[in-house]
């Protein structure tokens, strides 16, 4: 059961946007599992909005890559293949590594401070039970880098890419050892350190390694399942 959508749920004026939020959340929390069919009428009944709004919301989620439309059959929660995940992580590594360089060049000291705060916030959520929250905190870290690098287009694209593999990220996070979680945070701290020293080469290299490491864990999950 997903929540009924009320008129005063969020600060957005359109019902469409609130519906998108509810459905996106339901997908990211795996209330709807990958491959699961999303029947319009069912969703309309469960959320209390009309089929029209559901369709519009699903269109947007399709644009974000979270659901896929199969002509004549309907909407399905996107099932990420190993190959696709590999490509997504590859693009992320490319963009985020390059953005790390830009961040070094363009970010203010305040940006770096904010980054450190965000990293610590992510570190504070370190129990396997709150994997999604942890992933979202890591997203916030990445968002700060992108913003500090002064490229909003890149920020948005990477955000979409991350959302598409959030499913994998929560799985890997849940099954991760305490040791691995420690390593992850250590890498992030080292990246922040590189930023503090304004070492572009190091920041770029560490960022790439960080993402390639995530990719490897994701591949492990995909190939064992």
Partner DNA sequence: GCCGGTATACCGTCATACAAGACAAAACGC
Partner DNA sequence: GCGTTTTGTCTTGTATGACGGTATACCGGC
**Partner in contact with 51, chosen from its own copies, DNA, none, beta carbon below 5 to 8 Å by kind:** DNA
Cα 50 to chain centroid, rounded = 28
**Partner in contact with 184, chosen from its own copies, DNA, none, beta carbon below 5 to 8 Å by kind:** none
Q: How far apart are CA 100 and CA 209, in angstroms?
A: 12
Q: How far apart are CA 176 and CA 173, in angstroms?
A: 5
The pattern of x and - marking residues 27 through 66 that bind DNA according to CB under 7 A reads: ----------xxxxxx------xxxxx-xx----------
88 forms part of the interface with its own copies (CB under 8 A): yes
The pattern of x and - marking residues 137 through 166 that bind its own copies according to CB under 8 A reads: -------------xxxxx--x---x-----
Residue 184: CB atoms within 10 A of its CB come to 21
22 forms part of the interface with its own copies (CB under 8 A): no
Spell 149-161 as b/e; 16+ CB within 10 A means b. Answer: bebeebbeebeeb
Cα-Cα-Cα-Cα dihedral sign, residues 12, 18, 22, 24 = negative
Nearer to its own copies, 60 or 126 (CB): 60
Q: How far apart are CA 116 and CA 32, in angstroms?
A: 34
146 forms part of the interface with DNA (CB under 7 A): no
**Partner in contact with 53, chosen from its own copies, DNA, none, beta carbon below 5 to 8 Å by kind:** DNA
- Pick from 87, 90, 82, 83: nearest CA to 208: 90
Nearer to its own copies, 38 or 176 (CB): 38
69 forms part of the interface with DNA (CB under 7 A): yes
Q: Are 36 and 76 in contact (CB under 8 A)?
A: yes
Residues near its own copies, by CB under 8 A: 13-14, 55-56, 59-60, 62-64, 71-72, 84, 87-88, 90-91, 94-95, 98-99, 102, 150-154, 157, 161
Residues near DNA, by CB under 7 A: 14-16, 37-42, 49-53, 55-56, 69-75
């Amino acid at each position: 059961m997903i929540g009924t959508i009320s008129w005063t749920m969020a600060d957005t004026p359109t019902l469409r946007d609130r519906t998108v939020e509810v459905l996106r959340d339901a997908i990211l929390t795996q209330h709807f599992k990958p491959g699961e069919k999303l029947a319009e009428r069912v969703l309309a009944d469960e959320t209390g909005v009309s089929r029209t709004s559901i369709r519009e919301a699903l269109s947007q989620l399709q644009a974000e890559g979270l659901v896929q439309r199969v002509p004549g059959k309907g909407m399905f929660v996107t099932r990420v293949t190993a190959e696709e995940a590999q490509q997504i992580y590859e693009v992320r590594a490319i963009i985020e590594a390059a953005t790390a360089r830009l961040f070094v060049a363009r970010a203010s000291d305040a940006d770096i401070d904010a980054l450190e705060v965000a990293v610590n916030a992510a570190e504070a959520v370190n129990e396997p039970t709150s994997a999604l929250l942890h992933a979202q905190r890591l997203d916030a870290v990445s968002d700060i880098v992108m913003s500090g690098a002064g490229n909003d287009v890149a920020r948005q694209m990477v955000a979409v890419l991350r959302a598409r593999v959030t499913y994998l990220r929560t799985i890997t996070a849940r099954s991760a050892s305490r040791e691995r979680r420690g390593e992850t945070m250590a890498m992030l701290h080292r990246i922040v350190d590189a930023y503090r020293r304004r070492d572009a080469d190091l920041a770029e290299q560490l960022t790439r390694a960080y993402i390639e490491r995530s990719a490897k864990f994701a591949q492990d999950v995909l190939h064992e399942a």
